[in-house]
Amino acid sequence: MVSYKELGLVNSREIFKKAFEGKYAIPAFNFNNMEQMQAIIQACVEKKSPVILQVSSGARKYANQTLLRYMAQGAVAYAKELGYAIPIVLHLDHGDTFELCKSCIEMGFSSVMIDGSHHSYEKNVELTSQVVEYAHKYDVTVEGELGVLAGIEDDVAAEHHTYTEPDQVEDFVGKTGVDSLAISIGTSHGANKFTPAQCTRDANGVLIPPPLRFDILSEVEKRIPGFPIVLHGASSVPQDQVAIINKYGGALKDAIGIPEEQLRQAAASAVCKINIDSDGRLAMTAAVREVFALQPAEFDPRKYLGPARENLKKLYMHKVENVLGSAGKA
Ligand code: G3H
Ligand code: 13P
Ligand code: ZN
């Protein structure tokens, strides 16, 4: 058993409390490799933002959970070396079993998500309670989820999500003892969050996605005042990055995300954590494709992973400063 406290990590309790009071959101950026971790830490140290380093089950399989844990430990030392010890949370994204959450807690994670949203309400309560009971013994914070987001394991179309039912949140939070709650108000995972048919067009023909269901968010806030809410599927799918990818041989079709103004609005409410993965994938891919297309003789990985890391860092700095409002809050 390794305690996250020995690794210099923090749980999410204190940073969420400050985010709620200060009307901003903490960035939760997914990482799978060293360049992503470096970009996240460089950006958040430079902007003095707290950060959640987020690891999915897929990331654990890809990179190995022990290596990711050591990377997070390294991130704490790296931030100090860069000149500012920002609060860093190591969080399991979309944990699906008690055993997985337990294993991450024993490995040094400071926060876990147990995603029981695909189960019945009763089973979700039971599974989430079990994880909370174990996690809280070690002062590890737990994120639960109510309502289903489209587009993760099953890759279903975005219109098949189920919005969170505000009538359930108070009972769920009370029975399970979770520390934060992910809700479904119209976001979804991946780079194709809406079909063009679901969007309207502005005067210039630019697609405008349907707005998030702020009415549901505000109902949720009334039922559990002061409680930290989490938004998954919050990438904005920057069209300049999509255009670079497609210009240099990519084939991204109908890639549409959540407008940043709506995320800013959410961050000023009870939403204390905003999950961003796909935008980082787009930024890395755009930079790598550009190098491959313009410098076809290049074969040193540092010559394309370096620009990818720079582009990622730029993206994260922008998110923290202009979208989440967490710059200067560390
Ligand atoms: O919520 C999903 C995240 O974007 C992680 O994606 O499971 O492909 O690592 P992944
Ligand atoms: P995006 O696919 O919109 O980046 O969402 C990521 C996420 O919710 C990770 O849990
Ligand atoms: Zn998610």
Q: For residue 65, how far is its CA from the centre of ligand 1 (angstroms)?
A: 15
Taking 70 as the threshold, does the pLDDT of residue 141 lie above it? yes
Confidence of residue 161 (pLDDT cuts 50, 70, 90): confident
> Residues 132-145: what's their mean pLDDT?
98
Please report the pLDDT score of residue 160 as a whole number. 66
Please report the pLDDT score of residue 152 as a whole number. 52
Q: Give residues (CB < 6 A) around ligand 2.
A: 30, 93-94, 189-190, 232-235, 275-279
Looking at per-residue pLDDT, the higher value among 240 and 156 belongs to 240
> Residues 164-181: what's their mean pLDDT?
98
Taking 90 as the threshold, does the pLDDT of residue 211 lie above it? yes
Taking 90 as the threshold, does the pLDDT of residue 157 lie above it? no
Token pair in block for residue 210: 């349907």
**Which ligand sits nearest to residue 91's alpha carbon?**
2
Report percent pLDDT > 90 for the chain: 94
Which protein residue has the closest C-alpha to ligand 1 atom 6?
56
> Is the Cβ atom of 94 under 6 angstroms away from ligand 1?
yes
Per DSSP, which regions of 81-123 are E strands?
88-95, 111-114
Please report the pLDDT score of residue 206 as a whole number. 87
Of 115, 125, 62, 127, the C-alpha closest to 91 is 115
> Is the Cβ atom of 236 under 6 angstroms away from ligand 1?
no
> Is the Cβ atom of 59 under 6 angstroms away from ligand 1?
yes
First vs last C-alpha separation in the chain: 28
Confidence of residue 16 (pLDDT cuts 50, 70, 90): very high
Confidence of residue 154 (pLDDT cuts 50, 70, 90): very low
Which protein residue has the closest C-alpha to ligand 1 atom 7?
58
What span, in angstroms and rounded, lies between the C-alpha atoms of 83 and 115?
A: 36
Q: What are phi and psi of 48, to 5 degrees?
A: 50, 55
Confidence of residue 150 (pLDDT cuts 50, 70, 90): confident
The ligand 1 atom at the shortest distance from the C-alpha of residue 93 is: 1
Q: For residue 115, how far is its CA from the centre of ligand 1 (angstroms)?
A: 13
Please report the pLDDT score of residue 65 as a whole number. 87
Taking 70 as the threshold, does the pLDDT of residue 275 lie above it? yes
What span, in angstroms and rounded, lies between the C-alpha atoms of 141 and 265?
A: 25
Please report the pLDDT score of residue 92 as a whole number. 98
Q: For residue 270, how far is its CA from the centre of ligand 1 (angstroms)?
A: 24
> Is the Cβ atom of 58 under 6 angstroms away from ligand 1?
yes
Taking 50 as the threshold, does the pLDDT of residue 36 lie above it? yes
Q: 278, 258 in Cβ contact below 8 A?
A: no
> Residues 6-16: what's their mean pLDDT?
98
Q: For residue 280, how far is its CA from the centre of ligand 1 (angstroms)?
A: 12
Please report the pLDDT score of residue 41 as a whole number. 98
Q: For residue 141, how far is its CA from the centre of ligand 1 (angstroms)?
A: 20
Indicate if 300 belongs to the active site: no
The preferred substitution site among 278, 315, 316, 324 for testing ligand 2, maximizing ligand atoms within 8 Å of CB, is 278
Please report the pLDDT score of residue 151 as a whole number. 66
Confidence of residue 258 (pLDDT cuts 50, 70, 90): very high
> Residues 221-236: what's their mean pLDDT?
98
Taking 80 as the threshold, does the pLDDT of residue 14 lie above it? yes
Q: For residue 190, how far is its CA from the centre of ligand 1 (angstroms)?
A: 8
> Residues 186-208: what's their mean pLDDT?
92
Taking 80 as the threshold, does the pLDDT of residue 237 lie above it? yes
Taking 70 as the threshold, does the pLDDT of residue 159 lie above it? no
DSSP string, 205-272: --EEPPPP-HHHHHHHHHHSTT--EEE-S-----HHHHHHHHHTT----S-B---HHHHHHHHTTTEE
- Which residues have CB under 8 Å from 40's CB, separation 6+? 29, 31, 51, 53, 75, 312, 316
Fold of 4-324: TIM Barrel (3.20.20)
Which protein residue has the closest C-alpha to ligand 2 atom 9?
275
Q: 35, 309 in Cβ contact below 8 A?
A: yes
> Is the Cβ atom of 279 under 6 angstroms away from ligand 1?
no
Please report the pLDDT score of residue 153 as a whole number. 46
Confidence of residue 158 (pLDDT cuts 50, 70, 90): very low
Taking 70 as the threshold, does the pLDDT of residue 282 lie above it? yes
Which protein residue has the closest C-alpha to ligand 2 atom 1?
233
How far does Cα 98 stand from its chain's mean position? 21
Mean pLDDT of the chain: 96
